Amino acid sequence: MIAIERISKTFETRRGASHLALGEISLDVADGEFVSILGPSGCGKSTLLYIVGGFVPPSTGVVALDGKPVTGPGPDRGPVFQEFALFPWKTVLGNVMYGLLERGTPKVEAEAKARALIGLVHLEGYEGFYPKELSGGMKQRVAIARTLAYGPSILLMDEPFGALDAHTRTGMQNELLEIWERDRKTVLFVTHSVEEAVFLSDRVVVLTRSPGRIKETIRIDLPRPRRRKELLVDNRYQRLVVEIEALMDTPAQRR
Amino acid sequence: MTQRAAPELLLGILPIALILALWQALTSFDMAPPALLPPPMAVFRRLVEQLGNPIFLQHTFTTLLRLFAGFAIACLVGVTLGLMASSSRVAESAIRPIVRVLAPVPKIALYPAFILILGFDHASKIALVAADALFPILLATYQGAVSVEPKLVWSALAAGTTRRKALLTVVLRAALPSVLTGCRIGLVISCIVVFLAEMISSTDGLGHLLVYASRSFETVDMYVPLITISLLGLSLNAGFNALRRRLLAGYPEAE
Ligand SMILES: Nc1ncnc2c1ncn2[C@@H]1O[C@H](COP(=O)(O)OP(=O)(O)OP(=O)(O)O)[C@@H](O)[C@H]1O
Ligand SMILES: [Mg+2]
């Protein structure tokens, strides 16, 4: 379980002033739960994920995993960054194999696993390409495969489908749901798309304008497994989307 | 820097050809006394002759040995210190002031001290080369390492890489374009400085050959070491570029 307890983040700016990037956030995420985070740009969604990942320490509060406070990054939490952050000197295959080799997986086995994951994100034939030779959407899929490779039980995904075209995006959503339904990973998923959040999640957390605090948590009790074409015509789905969109649009936020 | 187009190559050769033509003109129209400025053909003929002369080759080898030894030390120390300064506050506070103090000192002013301490032979010249080539490499490494995208390091840490290992396999690797630019400057400086040191005090090496020839008014022999070091610099640079292209295969900067 991820227990996020009253964390906030203040950045010191150059001129010695301090800037509150993330208001006080408390959130519990159960094992195997899929939680999406929605909120206006700059409200601190990425910062929240960095803190849970252990990359950035919170200014106040603690994050605990199964009762143990987070002190740094670890392979139990797999991040997929908004900016992909692929290793430019490694090919697609090299990037995906990285985590496996770091764990001491024998090379032959690591390569076989990596190739399977590259297939999963539909990049067969691009194994030998360098990241600079890929489109934004392809890079994002490599980043997802690289993280899935070392089998983290928690996925921290920062707008992982943001750079994808609508078609690939729905494909990847289905793919992610399939993986999730199979392995029951815990997922913290940042997105700007309300439909995506509702389609994927057990719970949607809406943050306020910067500095982000939790404005509302909405439980999405649509039946699983979810099929896109069934959901799109489902009244409950439509109502949830409308409700959350309204939440994100309230004047209180435009202040 | 992929294959240079032929017109560009021609454009690069043109100024060199012009200088040679000017040199030829000066000598053939008797504008400079042949005793002071021999015709280019005489110099090149002598160069070819000397390339078959074991004694001349021995001198060239000595120069190359000092150049490489000094350059290698500069690379090792410069990259190590640069990386250390980029990765820890403590190291940075220790390294920054000493770099500030030593970098602007003309290293040639330390040469007499090097001779007194290290003797007249290789060691003092190697030390001078290393001292001069060190700072551009150190500064470029530091600059490159601090501007590495943190998410690259985070991605490695999340996959289970230790901080120490990530410093070498991620930070240094990602900073490589900058590091190699520093090394390239260091290499050119090494060529200049080794020659200078040999001119000032030596009984062997190309620099010594030049001074020796000029003292005995052997003008043809005076220009031969000069052209040799220039050709050496040219081929070292070409070798370095080939290495750089291989190492930077995936980097956007390497284009
Ligand atoms: N390293 C930093 N130094 C100072 N301020 C920062 C730093 N990183 C983020 N911030 C500030 O923190 C706030 C939240 O940033 P964050 O990237 O978490 O937002 P976000 O919700 O992910 O936005 P987006 O949806 O655009 O990705 C912003 O106001 C930003 O200016
Ligand atoms: Mg963000």
Q: What is the pTM of this model?
A: 0.89
Is residue A251's pLDDT more than 80? no
Q: How confident is the model at residue A250 (pLDDT cuts 50, 70, 90)?
A: low
Q: How confident is the model at residue B5 (pLDDT cuts 50, 70, 90)?
A: low
**CA distance to partner chain A, nearest, from residue B137 (Å):** 21
Test B160 with A131 for CB contact under 8 angstroms: no
Q: Tell me the average pLDDT across B140-148.
A: 96
- Measured distance CA(B253)–CA(B176) in Å, rounded: 10
Task: Note the pLDDT of residue B249.
Answer: 87
Q: Tell me the average pLDDT across A95-124.
A: 95
Mind listing the pLDDT tens digit for each residue in B177-189? 999 999 999 999 9
Is residue A255's pLDDT more than 70? no
Q: How far is the CA of A192 from the centre of ligand 2 (A)?
A: 10
Give me the interface pTM, i.e. the ipTM.
0.93
Contact of A103 with chain B, judged by CB distance below 8 Å, is answered with yes
Q: How confident is the model at residue B171 (pLDDT cuts 50, 70, 90)?
A: very high
Mutant choice from B147, B151, B165, B170 vs A, greatest count of A C-beta within 10 A: B151
Q: Tell me the average pLDDT across B213-220.
A: 90
Q: Tell me the average pLDDT across B220-241.
A: 92
What proportion of chain A, given as a percentage, has pLDDT over 70?
A: 98
Nearest-atom number in ligand 1 for the CA of A43 is 21
Q: How confident is the model at residue A252 (pLDDT cuts 50, 70, 90)?
A: low
Q: Tell me the average pLDDT across A194-223.
A: 94
Atom 6 of ligand 1, nearest CA residue? A11
Task: Note the pLDDT of residue A16.
Answer: 82
Task: Note the pLDDT of residue B254.
Answer: 57
Mind listing the pLDDT tens digit for each residue in B119-133? 888 999 999 999 999
Q: Tell me the average pLDDT across A197-213.
A: 94
Contact of A161 with chain B, judged by CB distance below 8 Å, is answered with no
Task: Name all domains of chain A by residue range, CATH numbers in brackets.
Answer: 2-76+153-249 (3.40.50.300), 84-151 (no CATH)
Task: Note the pLDDT of residue A175.
Answer: 87
Q: For A99-103, A176-180, A197-201, B76-80, which range has the lowest pLDDT when averaged over its residues?
A: A176-180
Q: For A63-67, A146-150, B112-116, B249-253, which range has the lowest pLDDT when averaged over its residues?
A: B249-253
Nearest-atom number in ligand 1 for the CA of A82 is 27
Average pLDDT, chain A: 93
Q: How confident is the model at residue A114 (pLDDT cuts 50, 70, 90)?
A: very high
